[in-house]
Amino acid sequence: MKNNYCIIKKALSQELCSFLYNHLLLLDKRFLTFTHSRYISAFNADHGTINDGQVDGAFAIYSDPAFETLLVKIKPVLEKIVSKKLIEAYSYARLYRTGNALNRHKDRYSCEFSCTLHLGGDKWPLFLEPSGKMHQKGIRVDLNPGDLLAYKGCDVEHWRDPLRGEVCGQVFLHYNKDDKKGRANQYDGRSHLGLPVWFKNK
């Protein structure tokens, strides 16, 4: 992985992207119905959240089974890119809307190797600073639906300026190296994929 990142065009078919994008739109609609009807508490994030502390106002969901399945599907692709055996950590998807922005940051340990996939909606550039140096202008990355950006999440600063379009659907897939430290953190501390973030190994 040159310069700690790599772009793969058309990593997913248009058909699969369209399916997953519409799935994300439906998850957002279900979440809004559940919260407006008070079927779920505002503090229950099992069906998603709009207050994840990173991009407030954007619908986000951790470990949806469809995206967790995609996490498994993409792993061999990423292993070829990084030339390492990997272990799945977790998936996370967001539906951004006008004005949403992503502050400059590096990811936590469970995101040692990460992928960003553009599923649908408006195009929205992501900026990377592969050297990790603060206050650099960064490298602009534009993705079409199905394109994949792979990067070292703990090392590469990344951010997005405010979205000028109406909506943008992205999914993030996170992995660790298959070593002693990575295996201790397999599935982000859960017993298997598809479980909510709070359902850690007992």
Angstrom distance (rounded) from CA 139 to CA 5 = 11
pLDDT digits over 6-60, tens only? 999 999 999 999 999 999 999 999 999 998 888 887 777 889 999 888 898 999 9
What is the mean pLDDT of the segment spanning 131-143?
A: 78
Angstrom distance (rounded) from CA 14 to CA 28 = 21
Q: Residue 21 has what pLDDT? A: 98
- State yes or no: pLDDT of 134 exceeds 70: no
Q: Which two tokens stand for residue 30?
A: 């279900």
- State yes or no: pLDDT of 133 exceeds 80: no
- State yes or no: pLDDT of 121 exceeds 70: yes
Given a contact cutoff of 8 angstroms between Cβ atoms, the answer to whether 63 and 90 are in contact is yes
Q: Residue 96 has what pLDDT? A: 97
DSSP H or E run through 80? helix 65-82
The radius of gyration of the chain's CA atoms, rounded to the nearest angstrom, is 16
| Domains of the chain with CATH codes | 2-31+49-186 (2.60.120.620)
Which amino acid is it at 179? D
What is the pTM assigned to this prediction? 0.93
pLDDT digits over 68-104, tens only? 999 999 999 999 999 999 999 999 999 999 999 998 8
Angstrom distance (rounded) from CA 17 to CA 117 = 9
